[in-house]
Structure 1
């Protein structure tokens, strides 16, 4: 794969303080942006690029620039509208209810130049019907019960009218985009899929299933919002360091498998979110492994048992080892500049500290020049940058593996003081829906999870641990048996004989029936 150069647009000090995490993983992975929020940001980018005639096409590497929707009327109505509850509780006539509510919204709606919502009276037969639609959209919102500000809450992405970027509305009514919850991870996701070899197939599915054939519920959002609202400026600055990567291809293949299931598009979204989370976790670990030139990433998964087991300990060890990979990669990425011939020449020059600082400036965008002359030795510069880089890394990017693994149901502390890989029923259902056609022999399913995602469950995939004496074959055989029982209880596995069990995709099975 080709690793792209650091963009010169970040040399003007308006970007990150230094370019290290971004050089490895892109600008940027962010733990506070959950897999769900990453999907929503992706869909916002996709819609904007579709309207510009560039659906899932990157005209030049890292050239993404788009103008997203704001939909402030919609989110005021759904998330900044406490008056509707009080008006409904007063049990007034329909005319009085509309009059009182419209007056209250005219006083309190945020971020709008015109606070006139009178158009809604023509779109709903009664105020009660209007209130029912608001209640439905509130109930189906993504993380709707959170304490986030109203402008950072999101309706379910039923279709184009329900998509918009994260925004900050100040008390004076000014509106700016916010990078806390839409922190560019969705932009990275968009670039990854653009650069996958399946981009053409995926483009057709995304357009046909989401953008040009939205769910009927999207008409509710359209009725509330009215004419679409857009940001005043373009959103640019996304950067993905790899022009191609096996994870990009696998991610696209997983999305295609889900989108081809015979289920409504909005039912497919949770599966897309889960597979996005899994693949982005693996992307972070794989890029760290590539920097470290270490062994392949493996996820030893315990299928939860009532008692502590060898597999549980190995799973916790696997989790901790993977959790530390990104931090190790950051440190090595910085320190290996000290092994270059250019660094050696700088150290042998008449002004070693100044020349070394120039190298760090050119390579990482650091330091900014202050206190350089007071540094006694070039190695001190590397030590300082390493310390700063690790401190910054631990704040957000270093938490991706921990936060996202929990969010998608990959990790757990159930019955243990240590976090380990222990997939939930929800994740198992998604893996079956994504990876199994109509049916697949159980042992082949275990092999597929291992070869595709590095997931270790059965003894056939755990040969390294068995051969090294860390576990017995029986330990992992029991682990596989527990998975077989779990899948059977979920209606995802059918045993035909003592030696033959098949994992079945329930969606494909329903279609065949």
Structure 2
């Protein structure tokens, strides 16, 4: 597949850190470690809902033209996450009418970001104050990352349906509301653009709209009852950017989502699997784009199925993890320094004012140095390149450089269990996601191992580890034992059946009825 790499937009907005367009040029605007896979999925759904309302779900009018107006649902999040009075009133054990009156007065004084703090409409929607409190308690208990210490305006209810979706905002002490890009940092927008550009976008659109937006879980009615009429941001959100017009990861991601969404399970039960497989694909996207910049082969991840004691596979897995963790920064440096190999750079060096010409090239390509800061454009052309690399690396290490480490841990791909070094060691939760995503009904165990290697670069069994065996870094028995441990793990999870000594099948637990 031929990939078209897109130039950065003429104007872009809402960036943090030094004004340098390098990470974004490679991976998009933007990957951000503080936005977890769960929050990325929530931001995606928020974009999808807004674009569906505009009649263009998973469709780009033109590349990188995304502009949408998300919901804010400030009444809902005030009630669920900025409502300490409800427990106080319940504890006082007042009569129902008095409980409502006391709570309404307190809430009117403390609610934030609202033009009107009148919540009297709730009395018509709940028979008793205790019923209202029970709904609040349920939504608090099912919140995404509900035990975090984030401010109330950056907390999110479970995405039961369209009324439970909203963007991250900051609410000032004076009540002003502004979009916030710390936890909805645009990674969900990048995910949305990836799926827009997949070959199966139309199929995916139909399933996503029908399962999440048009057929929400009954619990979405609770959010609707609390919120009332939806609230929207005052302005549209633009500025999303994805540098590749096509990419194999986009199509694999869409295939994975379709496989999960086609399972005979409720949509909200499918969400944890969608989140985990999205996290894996975005990790691989970051690594693959880094390897493309570096001119290397696709990524591989040596996975240890945790053994009771140290093993050769454990060491190789830790080595694999460390090598992959270093790739994005290496790609960043190569991407910048490749500028010196262009004819335009050669012409700049031959000019009468080489430093000025070089600075103009770097400013056009990377938005650095700042033309209003003459101190940044000092030194020789080589000094400028070195300075840009140093500044870009500092910025990269703040967020984009932490994606592999943070997300691998978040989805259960990496672990430090029983070891000082981090390595790839998939958890039971991730293994189940891989089974329900990749196994239509049942699949021979050896074919499952081959599929994981071909599809995601996960190296587990001896047939997939031939390069390590041929080089003498491991024996065949090392990886055979690793595969055997995976077989035992899957069997203990009810995901594998052995029919004979030479025949074991991995089974999709949600497709057994059809298989039978």
Where on the TM-score scale, by shorter chain, does this alignment land: which range? over 0.9
Q: Please tell me whether the aligned partners of residues 293 and 335 of structure 2 are also in contact (alpha carbons under 8 angstroms).
A: yes
Q: What 5-or-longer segments of structure 1 have no aligned partner?
A: none
Partner of 2:480: 477
Distance 1:464 1:13 in 2: 42
Partner of 2:401: 398
In 2, Cα distance between the equivalents of 1:271 and 1:102? 40
CA contact (8 A) 2:13 2:239 kept: no
Match of 2:437 in 1: 434
2:511 to 501, 508, 511: 508
Distance 2:58 2:14 in 1: 29
Mapped contact 1:77–1:224 kept (Cα < 8 A):
yes
Report if the CA contact (8 A) 1:447-1:461 is conserved.
yes
* 1:195 alignment counterpart: 197
* Alpha-carbon distance in 2 for matches of 1:174, 1:502: 58
Secondary structure of the equivalent of 2:511?
Answer: helix
SS at match of 2:338: helix
Can you list the C-alpha shifts for 1:204-254, whole angstroms capped at 9, x where unaligned?
A: 000110000000000000000000000000000000000000000000000
Q: Distance in 2 between matches of 1:346 and 1:185?
A: 37
TM-score, normalising length: structure 1 = 0.98
Which of 304, 313, 316 is matched with 2:315 structurally?
Answer: 313
Q: Write the mapping of 1:7-22 to structure 2, written as runs, cut at 5 A.
A: 7-10=9-12, 17-22=19-24
Please point out which of 249, 252, 277 is paired with 2:251: 249
1:296 deviates by 2.0
* Number of residue equivalences: 513
**Which residue among 304, 311, 320 is the counterpart of 2:306?**
304
Q: After the TM superposition, which residues 74-473 of structure 1 pair with which residues of structure 2 at under 5 Å, given as runs? A: 74-369=76-371, 370-371=373-374, 375-473=378-476
Q: Which residue matches 1:490?
A: 493
Structure 1 CA distance, aligned partners of 2:257 and 2:208?
9
Aligned-residue offset at 1:510: 4.2
Deviations for 1:331-377, whole angstroms, at most 9, x for unmatched residues?
00011111212111111111110011111111111101333697331
Q: Secondary structure at the match of 1:323?
A: helix
- For the residues of structure 1 that align with 2:142 and 2:12, how far apart are their CA atoms? 39
Name structure 2 gaps, 5 residues minimum.
none
Determine if the alignment matches structure 1 residue 37 to structure 2 residue 1. Answer: no
Contact 1:11 1:365 in 2 (8 A): no
Taking the aligned partners of 1:143 and 1:14, their CA distance within structure 2 comes to: 24
Q: CA deviation at 1:2?
A: 0.3
- Write out per-residue CA displacement over residues 457-492 of structure 1, whole angstroms, 9 at most, x where no aligned residue: 000100000000000000000000000000000000
Distance 1:371 1:298 in 2: 44
Conserved? CA contact 1:10–1:16, under 8 Å: no
TM-score, structure 2 normalization: 0.98
CA shift in 2, pair 1:324/1:83, >3 Å: same
Rounded Cα–Cα distance in structure 2 between residues aligned with 1:338 and 1:254: 40
Displacement of 1:15 in angstroms is 9.8
Say if 1:41 and 1:186, in contact at 8 Å, map to a contact too. yes
Task: Call closer, same or farther: CA 1:192–1:373 in 2, change over 3 Å.
Answer: closer
Secondary structure, aligned partner of 1:440:
strand
